[in-house]
């Protein structure tokens, strides 16, 4: 996500889209990302080639958290190998969830990744992905596996040890421990690793990763919960799907977590953000104004950021307000290269409280503005960094400001709860 110059580049998540991932297809909606994360395809070589043609790295979605009991999933076949399932007592597999109805119904059981045979199968699957040409993998369900996994009866699994492991990789390993150990298999296969933690790895309430053997980590609030560093050793990037929210919701916590995601001396700039239907406040938030507001809110920090997981549209009916994130992609935001920060920290002004302010961050090639207030701001003066004049592009409107004059400052109008990224360019239109 960070190029040789040290600049953060944005990724794209493309699970289901309007066009197939084929060389020659119209993939302009993806922009020019650093990484494209996508799901399994009928022809994975074609998908990899199409991603590489964009100049991006190709990351394949994988999930070794649970699997159905009636067919192979990512190479894990619990129908053929029922002993590969996680057990709470005896040899009975733990039920994670049920999907489908009638003949399409399936029970999903948690995978016992501490079984040596399971690890061998996972490693084999990862090596096949590397052989096809994938550069990395994105492990899903990481947040649940490391902090909260529970069975269909709401009994915790994440901190439990399987009772039916016949040949353990690590004696006494919990479900969480085994999941972390699995991340290292991708590295062994020659792949980069992105871990979907769901929330920030620097979230004060549940930082990466709670010690499953510390009783304080198993109670509400997790006060004094000890954390372990081993997950960081197995990953290159951590995905945060709770990186921003509407208006000033969770402002202080996300501000703190995002600051650490950029500045942490050991793990800074390794967090990737994804704006989803949930973080946008539901389907009604899937609009340009809300996306730009939250994108700008995140970009008060020098972090890689994506919006949604495709542009193939979402189904009508009850599932529309669920987990679907295929409303739209924003290639102009993917392509926005702001350069290195000029301001050491986000700057606030015109405050009516400690949070409700106009916030900004100046970069080498852009300025990010966020109006965290219920009223618009007119004629906000924005100075151009570098002591020279630049042309200013309002990314939201696509228009050049100040009649495309080369200016040292510019006035900008901000709507209530509005975000505006400005790009600074040297050449006129």
Domains and CATH numbers, the chain: 12-334 (3.20.20), 347-425 (2.60.40.1180)
Q: How far is the C-alpha of 44 from the C-alpha of 72, rounded, in Å?
A: 18
- Phi, psi dihedral angles at 105 (to 5 degrees): -70, 145
User: Which SS3 state, helix, strand or coil, does residue 390 take?
Assistant: strand
Predicted pLDDT at 319: 47
Closest CA to 81 of 99, 95, 97, 93: 93
Q: What are the C-alpha distances in Å from 394 to residues 38, 336, 412, 419?
A: 30, 11, 9, 11
| Rounded CA separation 263/31 (Å) | 27
What is the phi/psi pair of residue 100, to 5°? 75, 175
CA distance 408 to 402: 11
Distance from C-alpha of 45 to C-alpha of 36, rounded to nearest angstrom:
14
pLDDT for the residue 109: 97
Instruction: Indicate the DSSP class of residue 32.
Output: S
- The dihedral over CA atoms of 137, 143, 147, 148, expressed in degrees to the nearest 10, equals -120
Say what the pLDDT of residue 8 is.
84
Bridge-based pairing of strands 358-363 and 347-349 is antiparallel
Contacts of 403 (CB under 8 A, 6+ apart): none
pLDDT of residue 1: 76
C-alpha to C-alpha distance for 63 and 76, rounded to whole angstroms: 10
The pair of structure tokens assigned to 353 is 């409280």
How confident is the prediction along the chain (429 residues), in pLDDT tens digits per residue?
Answer: 777 677 789 999 999 999 999 999 999 999 999 999 999 999 999 999 999 999 999 999 999 999 999 999 999 999 999 999 999 999 999 999 998 888 788 999 999 999 999 999 999 999 999 999 999 999 999 999 999 999 999 999 999 999 999 999 999 999 999 999 999 999 999 999 999 999 999 999 899 999 999 999 999 889 999 999 999 999 999 999 999 999 999 999 999 999 999 999 999 999 999 999 999 999 999 999 999 999 999 999 999 999 999 999 988 754 434 579 999 999 999 999 999 999 999 999 999 999 999 999 999 999 999 999 999 999 999 999 998 999 999 999 999 999 999 999 999 999 999 999 999 999 766
Terminal-to-terminal C-alpha distance of the chain? 29
* Helix (H) / strand (E) containing 151: none
What is the C-alpha to C-alpha distance for residues 177 and 384, in angstroms, rounded to an integer?
Answer: 50
Residue closest to 276 by CA, chosen among 330, 337, 327: 327
pTM value?
0.96
């Amino acid at each position: 996500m960070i190029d040789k110059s040290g600049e953060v580049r944005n990724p794209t998540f493309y699970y289901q889209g309007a066009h197939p991932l084929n060389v020659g297809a119209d993939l302009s909606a993806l922009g020019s990302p650093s990484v494209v994360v996508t799901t399994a395809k009928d022809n994975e070589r074609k998908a990899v080639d199409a991603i590489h043609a964009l100049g991006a790295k190709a990351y394949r979605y994988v999930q070794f958290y649970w699997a159905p009991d009636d067919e192979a999933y990512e190479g894990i076949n619990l129908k053929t190998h029922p002993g590969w399932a996680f057990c709470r007592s005896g040899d009975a597999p733990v039920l994670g969830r049920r999907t489908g109805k009638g003949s399409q119904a399936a029970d999903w059981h948690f995978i016992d990744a501490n079984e040596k045979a399971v690890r061998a199968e996972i490693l084999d699957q990862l090596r096949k992905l590397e052989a096809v040409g994938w550069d990395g993998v994105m492990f899903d369900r990481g947040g649940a596996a490391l902090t909260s996994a529970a069975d269909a009866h709401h009994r915790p699994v994440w901190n439990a040890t399987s009772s039916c492991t016949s040949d353990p990789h690590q004696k006494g390993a919990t479900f969480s421990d085994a999941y972390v150990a699995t991340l290292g298999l991708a590295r062994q296969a020659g792949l980069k690793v992105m871990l979907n933690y769901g929330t920030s790895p620097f979230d004060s309430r549940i930082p990466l990763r709670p010690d499953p053997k510390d009783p304080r980590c198993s109670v509400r609030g997790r006060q004094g919960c000890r954390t372990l560093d081993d997950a960081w050793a197995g990953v290159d990037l951590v995905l945060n799907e709770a990186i921003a929210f509407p208006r000033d919701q969770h402002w202080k916590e996300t501000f703190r977590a995002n600051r650490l995601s950029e500045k942490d001396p050991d793990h800074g700039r390794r967090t990737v953000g994804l704006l989803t239907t949930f973080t946008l406040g539901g389907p009604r938030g899937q609009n340009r104004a809300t996306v730009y507001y939250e994108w700008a809110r995140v970009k008060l920090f020098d972090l890689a950021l994506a919006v949604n997981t495709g542009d193939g549209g979402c189904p009508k009916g009850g599932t529309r307000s669920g987990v679907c994130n295929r409303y739209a992609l924003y290639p102009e935001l993917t392509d926005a290269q702001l350069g290195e920060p000029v301001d050491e920290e986000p700057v606030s002004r015109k405050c009516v409280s400690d949070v409700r302010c106009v916030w900004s961050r100046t970069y080498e090639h852009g300025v990010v503005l966020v109006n965290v207030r219920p009223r618009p701001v007119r004629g906000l003066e924005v100075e151009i960094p570098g002591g020279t004049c630049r042309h200013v592009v309002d990314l939201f409107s696509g228009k050049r400001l100040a009649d495309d004059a080369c200016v040292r400052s510019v006035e900008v109008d901000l709507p209530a709860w509005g975000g505006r990224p400005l790009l600074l360019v040297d050449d006129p239109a």
